[in-house]
């Protein structure tokens, strides 16, 4: 970057060329397998993420090694990572200074370059309809916390026992949450109920919990998209990661 700026000062290049050159420095390529946005955390507030399931293990290992052997790496998130693969990575990665933080329920590995943490900039509430939705909620929680916010959670308060919901919503509103992430499977009714009770954005996450016509989460997705309660945004099935990133975008844009 210093070389680019020196050329700009010396009028060897114009400002547009300098801008393009600086942008190009944020992309890392590893043997044509991956292209990393190395400054994503600086720009967006949350680290680069790698989706693990569709990748061959050797490719995943190479990506992680290459990333942390590159110049000035930041934190890295590996999503949907099975516990078995996590244990293999621990054996095969030789980076003693890195911090490996694995959430078994969420199946997320956060690899940190240090233990530094900042004061939370906002509070985000995360709710599940049932205990079977917790793994997706935990995925959202990890991303919310990595994005610099405090996650306030309340699980298993769905419409099957709706009396459980109201005191938890009241608690979250007293705590001053700015956004609510609501995870639900089966018929996916909980986000509509919540959105009818609060004056803050609600992000609905359909989960693949269900059977019969509800198998795979499609009924929950359709129900959330068809909600008559205003103020709901809906992400894809089991996309706790996307819900959390959207929530972070909302609170950080204020």
Answer whether residue 220 shows pLDDT above 80: yes
**Beta bridge partner(s), residue 78:** 50, 109
pLDDT band at 9 (very low <50, low <70, confident <90, very high): confident
pLDDT at 174: 93
Answer whether residue 181 shows pLDDT above 60: yes
pLDDT at 39: 58
Write out the H or E segment, with its range, that includes residue 170.
helix 165-175
Tell me the C-alpha distance between 180 and 153, whole Å: 10
Q: Mean pLDDT lowest for which of 12-21, 50-59, 200-209, 242-251?
A: 12-21
What pTM, to 2 d.p., does this model score?
A: 0.81
Domains of the chain: 25-112 (no CATH), 123-252 (3.40.50.1970)
If one compares 75 and 103, the residue with the highest pLDDT of the two is 103
What are the distances in angstroms from CA 28 to CA 37, 64, 66, 168? 7, 12, 9, 44
Residues 194-206, mean pLDDT to the nearest whole number: 94
pLDDT band at 243 (very low <50, low <70, confident <90, very high): very high
pLDDT at 167: 93
Write out the H or E segment, with its range, that includes residue 154.
strand 150-154
Q: Are 89 and 108 in contact (CB under 8 A)?
A: no
pLDDT at 114: 82
- The dihedral formed by the CA atoms of 251, 105, 53 and 86, expressed in degrees to the nearest 10: 110
Phi-psi region of 204 (alpha: psi -120 to 50; beta: other; left: phi over 0): beta
Q: Please state, as a whole number, how many other Cβ atoms lie within 10 Å of the Cβ of residue 102.
A: 18
pLDDT band at 160 (very low <50, low <70, confident <90, very high): confident
- Residue-wise pLDDT for 20-72, tens only, equals 776 666 555 555 555 555 555 555 556 678 899 888 999 899 888 888 887 77
Q: Please state, as a whole number, how many other Cβ atoms lie within 10 Å of the Cβ of residue 109.
A: 24
């Amino acid at each position: 970057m210093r070389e680019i700026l020196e050329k700009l000062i010396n009028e060897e290049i114009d400002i547009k060329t300098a801008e393009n050159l600086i942008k190009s420095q944020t992309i890392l390529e590893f043997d044509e397998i991956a292209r990393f946005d190395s400054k994503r955390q600086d720009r967006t507030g949350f680290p680069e993420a790698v989706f693990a399931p569709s990748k061959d293990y050797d490719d995943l290992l190479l990506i992680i090694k290459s990333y942390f052997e590159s110049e000035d790496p930041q934190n890295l998130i590996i999503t949907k990572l099975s516990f078995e693969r996590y244990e293999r990575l621990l054996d095969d990665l030789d980076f003693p200074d890195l911090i490996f933080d694995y959430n078994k329920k969420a199946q997320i590995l956060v690899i940190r370059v240090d233990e530094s943490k900042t004061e939370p900039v906002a509070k985000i509430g995360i709710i599940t309809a049932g205990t079977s939705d917790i793994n997706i909620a935990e995925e959202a929680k990890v991303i919310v916390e990595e994005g610099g916010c405090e996650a306030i959670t309340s699980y298993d308060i769905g419409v099957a026992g709706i009396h459980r919901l109201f005191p938890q919503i009241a608690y979250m509103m007293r705590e001053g949450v700015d956004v609510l992430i609501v995870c639900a499977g089966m018929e996916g009714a909980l986000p509509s109920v919540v959105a009818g009770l609060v004056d803050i954005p609600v992000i609905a996450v359909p989960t693949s919990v269900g059977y019969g016509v509800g198998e795979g989460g499609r009924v929950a997705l359709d129900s959330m998209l068809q909600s008559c309660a205003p103020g709901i945004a809906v992400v894809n099935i089991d996309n706790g990661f996307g819900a959390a990133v959207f929530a972070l975008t909302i609170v950080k844009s204020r």
